[in-house]
Structure 1
Amino acid sequence: MHLLRTLALATTVIAGGAYSFGAHAETTIHIQAEEPGSSIYIYAGLFEPTIEKATGYNVEIIPRGGSVTNTALTNAGKTEFAFSNALPLSWGWNAILDFEGKPQQNNRLVFSGMQVAYLSVVASQSYVEKSGNAEVRTALTGDNPAKVLVEPAGSINPVVLDLFLKHAGSSLDEQRARGSIAQVPSSQMGQRVQDGMANAYFGIGPIGNPDLAEIMLSEKMVFLGWNDDDLAALKPYGFATSVLPANSYEGQTADLKMPVTLNDFIANKDVPEDVVYNVTKAVIESIDTLVAANKGFAGWEPEKYIQPEFQVIPLHPGAEKYYRERGWLK
């Protein structure tokens, strides 16, 4: 196993190109991860021995990057495999936002959904009862808007909020000027709600999101509903639609349909089909081992999240072959 632990060595590998395939050479694959200590780095460290044991490949983990960087590096063929979030993958495919005018269409999906993050919008029960605004759009842009908290610039949350508001005929700047949106660090949000300075929250996070959990303890809050038009409007930006199970949060007694974004494992389109097939098979058929090593894998539903409605980029043919053999794709 060759875990590339230094930034200099990682940079050398990327600069020189990643592919190492040949009839008489050991197959070496690179997985672009994130910085040491991140959940993605931990996942990559578990994939490394799993893939090596099942395939005989030499796996090298590159301990740097993030979803935007990893999307670009995989597209350019600087690494065979990478972890990325569905949002920048979709932006790259559609050449928008961070990839405006720079299409990233060499990336292919291998598997998805190791992490699922929900786009949650909650408001105080008292606000909803007084205003009648029980849907996201009316609460954010209606005549009696909620006082919404979202994180400052640098977070993905205000970017997504602005995209949604523009779809609804407004913008982050307009609503901020109106006094209905405040951008504050997550550490201050619960107190703001308690002090009556805000009554709603907009943010992305997994089940158990500590920012959302704290806000819901600050005052009796309810989840605002999403209509089908608004859900569809977020799809080009990398969101899919899924269900937040009942009782995921205090007082949330029903299943709720809402936008989600997924953590994806991707490959460059030119990685040989048999290599991607073998990597896919190695990981998917080792889920029990992965769960035993890290409970973060316990809720992973790979069959669900490779279905067309969750794909923001096409499947790699090697991965698709494996899923069809399993009967997971029609």
Structure 2
Amino acid sequence: MAFRNTLYLVAIVLVVIIIIGLIIFIRIPGPSPATPTSPSPASPIYPTTSPAIVYTTTTARQTVTSPASPMPAKLSVIIATGGVGGVYFYYGGTIANIISNFTDIEATSIQTAASIDNLILIRDKTDLSKGVLYCATVLPDSAYLAYTGQHERFKDNPAPIAILWAMYPNYLHIVTTTDSGIKTIADLKSKRVSTGAPGSGTEVEALLLLKIAGIDPAKDFSKWEKLGAAESADALRDGTIDAYFWSGGIPTGSIVELARTLSQRGKQIYLVPIDNSTARAFASKYPGLASPGVIPKTVYGAPEDTPTLTFWNMFVCHKNAPADVIYKITKAVFEHLDMLQKAVSAARDTKLENALLYYNGTIPYHEGALRYYEEKGILKR
């Protein structure tokens, strides 16, 4: 009896031990599945960027910091140039090639009606959130009027631009032939004249100069055309216009070709001079936009050297472009000037000593470009 009771007791103890072990086993926590969370800006899934884009206005030495928009991993730079036959078209195309080949930035160039058109593209088409940045070749008078809102197309929405470098001087050409009877600006009255493509810097300069000279194209020209560089040259060659305005570097390819064609026909190209009094009146009315210059007769085979006005072109981008992108663009261009100058004759004046020509002017330089100039020792701040 006692032995049987002992067996019962042992059995009860074993059952209790087994039950306790099962309870302990069931309550031991296993590894929990990871809880999915939304990635945050601090997560390595997102590229790390600085929290703000910083750029500096050079006139007041004021640093303006704006919250950065989310930037895509890849940025595409589109360079707005000008019409085929003008220097802008080839200059901008070469810059795009340099950027694409010597940085990690994709760049392309596009044909446009030049300065005003280019400034509108920068303002209206740049979308950094989608990785689209417009840059452009522009004339200083167009840039000034657009930046300050004095041009009719920028009155309520000025151009948000910053300068990267001064490019080269544009020479204002008034192109005709020696047998046209046009020897002075006043002789343009009652003639068929093109003032440049609509929305171009050439058009802006032509209309400013004609106003100084007291000529109203709508009333005083027998025919008023608005053609680009190549189209104007073709029209003069074909005899459908008597003269045309063109603002470009020297030599301009379309004018070189025109002079060659005219020579083969027994004609000679003639460039209408801008006399000293007109040049002074222009400088007084629009200070800082232009300076006197001369187009040597050897450039196009004209009968004499031609006094004119010169306007230093600017290479500009949207002011909110990331500073590191602008730095890379500026560095690549100035480290490969040999390529640019080989491709475009006018680019011989694109060099470090001319880059800061507009520094401390109305339109600020981009901070990314200024950083490069500081590294090169040509800028002290």
- TM-score band, normalised by shorter chain: 0.5 to 0.7
Match of 1:262 in 2: 313
SS at structure 2 position matched to 1:84: strand
User: Which runs of 5 or more structure 2 residues have no equivalent in the other structure?
Assistant: 1-46, 52-70, 113-117
Instruction: Spell out structure 1 runs of 4+ moving beyond 6 A.
Output: 24-27, 309-312
In the alignment, the residues of structure 2 paired with residue 85 and residue 308 of structure 1 have an alpha-carbon distance, to the nearest angstrom, of 13
2:166 corresponds, among 109, 112, 118, to 112
Does the CA contact (< 8 Å) of 1:119 and 1:202 recur in 2? Answer: yes
TM-score normalised per structure 1: 0.65
Aligned residues: 282
Does the CA contact (< 8 Å) of 1:280 and 1:322 recur in 2? Answer: yes
Note the 1:127-206 alignment, pairs <5 A. 134=184, 136=185, 138-140=186-188, 145=189, 147=191, 149-150=193-194, 154=198, 156=200, 157-158=202-203, 160-176=205-221, 179=222, 182-183=224-225, 186=232, 187-192=234-239, 198=242, 200-206=243-249
Q: Which amino acid aligns with 1:164?
A: L
Structure 2 residue 296 is the aligned partner of structure 1 residue 251? no
Structure 2 residue 93 is the aligned partner of structure 1 residue 46? no
Q: Which moved more, 1:316-325 or 1:215-224?
A: 215-224
User: Which runs of 5 or more structure 1 residues have no equivalent in the other structure?
Assistant: 1-19, 53-57
SS at structure 1 position matched to 2:246: strand
- CA 1:92–1:108: 2 relative to 1, 3 Å: same
Does the CA contact (< 8 Å) of 1:123 and 1:146 recur in 2? Answer: no
- CA 1:116–1:41: 2 relative to 1, 3 Å: same
Match of 1:229 in 2: 281
What do the CA deviations read for 1:155-178 (whole angstroms, capped 9, x no partner)? Answer: 7345543333334444221212xx
Structure 2 residue 49 is the aligned partner of structure 1 residue 22? yes
Q: How far did 1:102 drift?
A: 1.3
In the alignment, the residues of structure 2 paired with residue 170 and residue 286 of structure 1 have an alpha-carbon distance, to the nearest angstrom, of 44
Match of 2:331 in 1: 281
Identity of aligned residues (%): 17
TM-score normalised per structure 2: 0.58
In the alignment, the residues of structure 1 paired with residue 331 and residue 94 of structure 2 have an alpha-carbon distance, to the nearest angstrom, of 20
Match of 1:55 in 2: none
Match of 2:42 in 1: none
Does the CA contact (< 8 Å) of 2:172 and 2:245 recur in 1? Answer: yes
Structure 2 residue 130 is the aligned partner of structure 1 residue 82? no
